[in-house]
Amino acid sequence: MLKKKKKENSETPENTVEITNENNPGDEQEVAQQEETTEVTVSAEDKLKEELSQANDKYLRLYAEFDNFRRRTVKEREEARKTEGKELIVALLPVLDDFERALRATENATEVAPVREGVILIQNKLKNILTQKGLKEMQSIGTEFNADIHEAITSIPAPTDDMKGKVIDEMEKGYELNERVVRFAKVIVGA
C-alpha cells in the first residue's frame, strides 16, 4: 500500500507538472495573442492619434489661410475706397484748368459776352464729362409730383387745372447716377 500511495503521490506531481507544462504553451500563446492584440490596439490608437494630429494641422492651416484671405480682402477694399473717385477727379482736372484760365481772362476783359461764352463752354465740358460717368439730369417741370424723386419746397395755386399736382417750377435740378437718385429735385408744386 505504501508503494501504491507513493505511486499515486508520484503520479500526481507528474500529472501536475504535465498539466502545468501543457498549460504553459497555451499560456504563452495567450500571452502572445494578448501582446498582438495590445500591439494592434496600440497601433490603432497611434494611428488614430496621428490622424487627429493631421486633421488638427489641416484645420490650423486652413484657418490661417482664411484669416490671411480676409485680411487681404479688407486691405484691398480700403485701397479701392481710397482711389474709387480717382477716375472722375482726373477727368475733371481739365475743367478746373479751364476755370483758372477764365478767371485770368476776366481780369483784363472789358466785354462780358466773350467771358460768358467761355463760361458756357466750360459748363458744357463739365456736363459732358459727368454724363460720360453716368450722371443724368432729371426733367421735372411739367411732370407729376413724385415724392421718390422730388422734394416739394412749397405749393402754389396752379395756373390751370391740368397743372394741379404737377411740378410748376424747379429750384434745384435733381440728378441720377446710373439710374439711382443722388440728389432730389427741389420743386414747386401746383395746388
What mean pLDDT comes out for the span 82-110?
A: 83
- Predicted local distance difference test score (pLDDT) of residue 88: 83
pTM of the entire predicted model: 0.53
CA angle in degrees (0–180, nearest 5) for 140-146-149: 70
Residues 114, 126: Cα–Cα separation, whole Å: 18
What mean pLDDT comes out for the span 107-119?
A: 83
Q: What fold, for 137-191?
A: Nucleotide Exchange Factor Grpe; Chain A, domain 2 (2.30.22)
- Predicted local distance difference test score (pLDDT) of residue 99: 86
Residues 158, 191: contact at Cβ < 8 Å? Answer: yes
Rg (CA), the chain: 49
What mean pLDDT comes out for the span 127-152?
A: 88
- Predicted local distance difference test score (pLDDT) of residue 36: 62
pLDDT tens column, 151-187: 888 888 888 888 888 888 888 888 898 888 888 989 8
Handedness of CA 89, 94, 99, 104 (dihedral sign): positive
Q: Kindly state the cell numbers that stand for 3.
A: 508503494
- Predicted local distance difference test score (pLDDT) of residue 75: 93
Q: Kindly state the cell numbers that stand for 13.
A: 506531481
What mean pLDDT comes out for the span 113-126?
A: 88
Closest by alpha carbon to 77, among 88, 69, 87?
A: 69
Greater model confidence, 12 or 169: 169
Q: Which of 142-145's residues contact partners 24+ apart within 8 Å by CB, and which partners?
A: 142/166, 142/167, 143/167, 145/187, 145/189
Residues 167, 143: contact at Cβ < 8 Å? Answer: yes
Average pLDDT, the chain: 80
Q: Kindly state the cell numbers that stand for 153.
A: 419746397
pLDDT tens column, 27-68: 666 656 666 666 666 688 889 999 999 999 999 999 999 999
